[in-house]
Amino acid sequence: MTKAAFASIVLAAGKGTRMKSRLPKVLHAIAGRSMLGHVLSCLKTAGAMETVLVTAPDHEDVRAEALNHVPALRSAVQVRQLGTADAVKAARAEIASREAPVIVLYGDTPLLRSETIERVVAGTDNGTDIVVLGFDAADPTGYGRLLTDADGHIEAIREELEASPSERAVTLCNSGVIAFRSAALLDLLDDIGNDNAKGEYYLTDVIEIARSKGLASSVVECSEDEVMGVNSRAQLAQAEALMQHRLRLKVMAEGATLVSPETVYLSADTAIAEDVTIEPHVFIGPGVSIARDAVIRAFSHLEGAAVGERASIGPYARLRPGASLSEGCRVGNFVEIKNTRIEAGAKVNHLAYIGDARVGQGANVGAGTITCNYDGAAKHFTDIGDGAFVGSNSSLVAPVTIGPGAYVGSGSVITKDVDAGALAVTRSKQSQIDGWAARKKRAQSENASNNRGNKTAAGG
């Protein structure tokens, strides 16, 4: 089914003072993505043909983040914080000529789903002029109440400070998300006044104004969690927990095994194929893809990495941005990989750091090996050829190439290229002193005896 074309206005001018942060509220992250990023991605999936972002005058970083998600985004500035209707007015000129529906929503609702946006917009198709997204609240305290008639049409949205005792008993609440049948309906904003307890222009007042003009308003409902707004660090943590639960259910439904789901952290863009197994206490940051039949063992940390089919990672492995692991390779315990391609069948199994490098097909990198990729000013590349064998506790000083099938002896510091099939060893020749251990012990015993004698002579 073809999605309905619509425009959107995202309100993101709030300062978020309860977050106690220098960072604008909508830029705080949930599952590795800003709250604003979640909302904009949701709109994109739902099919928004145009989005206008409303920010405060000094929120250049908010606008920059929005452009990362919607390059064609248009923006407007709310000069003073005079309420939600005032914020929408700031964006009205950007979409005034549009005939399509317009939906207004907020940049701090990261759990909103694209299918819910589609339902709200679709509600305007049957001639309804305004559609409000509502929810049934377990505790409605603090929310605006949706007051409906016997036919389910909305008569008013009453803010709690303005509500009567009977109206406060209503549990059907306003999420703040409102869709208008066309941009022309935004002209109703001019009739909104600020005669209320806060002296602000409430967007919610548009319902009574529309009703007085013979226009119809209806409600579409969703779960309370989905429209949760984030105004504090505690709510940020709560939203994170809800998002993680959602993401875990999604990847398991798509065929991945999470041995202990509640201990696995996923990001909004995590891509996990069928028959992947993820053991407990794994952190997956942004930019990670994991191909089918791969195994991510316990206590591993992945970010900006691609894991190939049948690869095995960890336990206690760290994949940093630019790590690319091919089919069937192995990265073991306490191994860190950064900006490196590990090719098919290669192994880096123990206690190693491989950065800015290539490890060729079937190569083996021994325990304790590191690529010395940084000279204090620039990064340099290490190339380990197909089938090469690097012995334990070796240092490969970049730029350097280990040829295909070459061997590096354990404990070597390699500063020059090693030819294909050659053996490179740089450690000192081993020597032996017979009887040294016995002489060492006798000397220690004599020293201890002399020290005791000196203490006795001194009256100790």
Active-site amino acid positions: 350
Say if residues 229 and 239 touch (Cβ distance below 8 Å): no
**Of 182, 178, 184, whose CA–CA distance to 85 is shortest?**
178
Q: Is the dihedral of CA 10, 24, 245, 67 positive or negative?
A: positive
- Pull the structure tokens for residue 354: 């491989």
CA 225 to chain centre: 19
**Of 402, 375, 400, whose CA–CA distance to 391 is shortest?**
402
Backbone angles phi, psi at 234, to 5 degrees: -65, -40
Say if residues 65 and 22 touch (Cβ distance below 8 Å): no
Say if residues 136 and 56 touch (Cβ distance below 8 Å): no
Say if residues 329 and 345 touch (Cβ distance below 8 Å): yes
* Close Cβ partners of 248 (under 8 Å, ≥ 6 residues apart): 258, 261, 262, 264, 266
How many residues comprise the chain?
460
Cβ count within 10 A of residue 53: 29
- Pull the structure tokens for residue 448: 């201890």
Name the β-bridge partners of 55: 77
- Pull the structure tokens for residue 373: 């990729």
Whose tokens are 């191994």? That residue is 335
Omega prior to 399 cis, within 30 of 0: yes
